[in-house]
Amino acid sequence: MTQHNFIVEAPIVGTQHVEALDSGLHRAGRNGTANGNGTLNGNGSGTTNGNGTINGNGSGYGKLNETPVASPAAALVASTPAVSTPAVSTLNGTASALREVDIVHALEPLKVALQEVEDEIERMVTASVKSVADVASHTLGAGGKRLRPALTILASQLSSGGIERVPLSPKVLSGAVAVELTHTTTLLHDDVVDSAEVRRGKPAANLIWGNGMSVLVGDYLFAQVFLIASQKGFVELMHPLAEATSQMCAGELLEVQRRGSLDMSEQDYEEIVALKTASLTECSCRIGAIAVDASNEAADHLARYGHFIGLAFQIVDDVFDVTSSRGRIGKPVGNDVREGVITLPMLRAVHLCNEEDEATLRELIGKSPINDEEVERVLQILRCCGAPESAMKSALEYVAKAKLELSHFAPCAARDMLCDIADYVVSRDK
């Protein structure tokens, strides 16, 4: 397992001051190298000391609501022009480009615990009505990485000082199962709302069994979630699950309400993503902490970690819809354009492209019906103006913020795996 001492990716233009975690904190500039004393060498970079002062002309990346500046490039999506990613630095004295993570290998230490989750899910979806098991198993078996239950388990371990408990405690197991069933419910319902035909490279459940059956099975799974949370002694799990569910619904409604509106602000976009996507990753982490009676402070740090990686995850998905291929991501590219769903690459493109291309975007995004040639024209504009690269830099910033939340916990295997998940979110290829 890779040892992590945190990646720090504070935006740097000229002389900046960032909070130092300890005397080893440093930030790599373009092609820079760092040593354990905090000295940073490289073009466009300077030095940092234990007080967190950074001097130099290094370039970082822009915040969500700012125009990004240049950063070192690394190709994240092989089927498209390279997407830029900044160099990163760690407390162990190394500096490199974004680290790609094999998530299956990274989560290997959780194999036994995640199998417990799988077994419990299988038990809960096995119903007397065969179609319930068929639809649920089809969606659950469509290739998901079980990141949300992994977050719950790892949050519980990190909150317990890194202690790994096998078998899982009943509360941790129930929490992990609940967040995965909640996630599966949203997939079933979303595919109905979006009239989706493909989910993770397989036919969507609604295409096989119909919309009515998909909605009813989603409702059944959701009922199982609240059966879990209503168990005696588990009531504290109820509120974060209910809150996340409410937020996800609100996010989906806001997204539908604002379809086709390129005048939507980036703050509005962030609000939608925070509700529809980040709320469940935040809940997954908070439940893990609650399940082991962690302090409110620890639960809040882990919840913020989950919030930031949820934001990053959605932005990366938005980028894939522009830059990837159907074979790679398991669904048609350009779906957001077809549906008029406003994404960060679209909002960035409005400010990055020329007036003629902006007019084309405003004409076509939100148009219904829109043909394949028009979709491809929008995608070409988004790709050529650098919008995917700009959006990816914001995803990387959120991942950096997520990792800083982990700095409040002692080093352990669970913390390392949470860092791996954060890196995976922005280095995955689908």
**Span 62-113, pLDDT tens digits:** 333 333 333 222 343 333 333 333 434 342 323 334 689 999 999 999 999 9
Question: Which residue has better confidence, 371 or 136?
Answer: 371
Residue with tokens 């190394």, as numbered in its chain? 94
Give residue 1's pLDDT band: very low, low, confident or very high (50, 70, 90): low
Is the pLDDT assigned to residue 338 strictly greater than 50? yes
**Residue 3's pLDDT is what?**
53
Other Cβ atoms within 10 Å of 413 Cβ, number: 16
Is the pLDDT assigned to residue 197 strictly greater than 50? yes
Give residue 143's pLDDT band: very low, low, confident or very high (50, 70, 90): low
Tokens at 164, concatenated: 């790994």
Q: How far is Cα 50 from Cα 165, in angstroms, rounded to an integer? A: 36
Superfamily name with CATH number, domain 104-328+388-427 = Farnesyl Diphosphate Synthase (1.10.600.10)
Is the pLDDT assigned to residue 384 strictly greater than 60? yes
Question: Which residue has better confidence, 86 or 25?
Answer: 86
pLDDT (average), residues 299-316: 98
pLDDT (average), residues 8-19: 32
**Residue 223's pLDDT is what?**
93
Q: How far is Cα 53 from Cα 16, in angstroms, rounded to an integer? A: 7
Q: How far is Cα 411 from Cα 424, in angstroms, rounded to an integer? A: 19
Question: Which residue has better confidence, 131 or 50?
Answer: 131
Is the pLDDT assigned to residue 217 strictly greater than 90? yes
Is the pLDDT assigned to residue 58 strictly greater than 80? no
Q: For the chain, give the percent of residues with pLDDT over 70.
A: 75
pLDDT (average), residues 177-184: 96
**Residue 324's pLDDT is what?**
86
Per-domain boundaries in the chain? 1-99, 104-328+388-427
The burial of 412, by beta-carbon neighbours within 10 Å (0-12 exposed, 13-18 middle, 19 or more buried), is given as: middle
Q: How far is Cα 272 from Cα 276, in angstroms, rounded to an integer? A: 6
Tokens at 310, concatenated: 């949820």
User: Beta-strand (E) ranges in 66-125?
Assistant: 88-89, 95-96
The SS3 assignment for 408 reads coil
pLDDT (average), residues 22-47: 32
Question: Which residue has better confidence, 185 or 59?
Answer: 185
pLDDT (average), residues 293-315: 98
**Residue 327's pLDDT is what?**
59
Give residue 374's pLDDT band: very low, low, confident or very high (50, 70, 90): very high
**Residue 201's pLDDT is what?**
76
pLDDT (average), residues 222-236: 91
**Residue 200's pLDDT is what?**
74
pLDDT tens column, 237-282:
999 999 999 999 999 999 999 999 999 999 999 999 999 999 999 9
**Sign for the pseudo-dihedral over CA of 287, 289, 293, 295:** negative
The burial of 165, by beta-carbon neighbours within 10 Å (0-12 exposed, 13-18 middle, 19 or more buried), is given as: middle
Apex CA 417: angle with CA 36 and CA 249, to 5°?
125
Give residue 155's pLDDT band: very low, low, confident or very high (50, 70, 90): very high
Average pLDDT, the chain: 80
The SS3 assignment for 191 reads helix
Identify which of 308, 387, 305, 377 has the alpha carbon closest to the alpha carbon of residue 343. Answer: 387
Is the pLDDT assigned to residue 315 strictly greater than 70? yes
pLDDT (average), residues 404-417: 97
Is the pLDDT assigned to residue 135 strictly greater than 70? yes
Q: How far is Cα 314 from Cα 81, in angstroms, rounded to an integer? A: 20
pLDDT (average), residues 308-321: 97
Give residue 329's pLDDT band: very low, low, confident or very high (50, 70, 90): low
Contacts 24+ apart (CB under 8 A), 21-27: 21/91, 21/404, 21/407, 22/50, 22/91, 23/49, 23/50, 24/50, 24/91, 24/92, 24/93, 25/50, 25/52, 25/91, 26/54, 26/89, 26/95, 27/54, 27/58, 27/60, 27/89
Tokens at 408, concatenated: 């409040």
pLDDT (average), residues 288-311: 98
Is the pLDDT assigned to residue 5 strictly greater than 70? no
CA distance from start to end of the chain: 23
Backbone torsions φ then ψ of 78, nearest 5 degrees: -65, -25
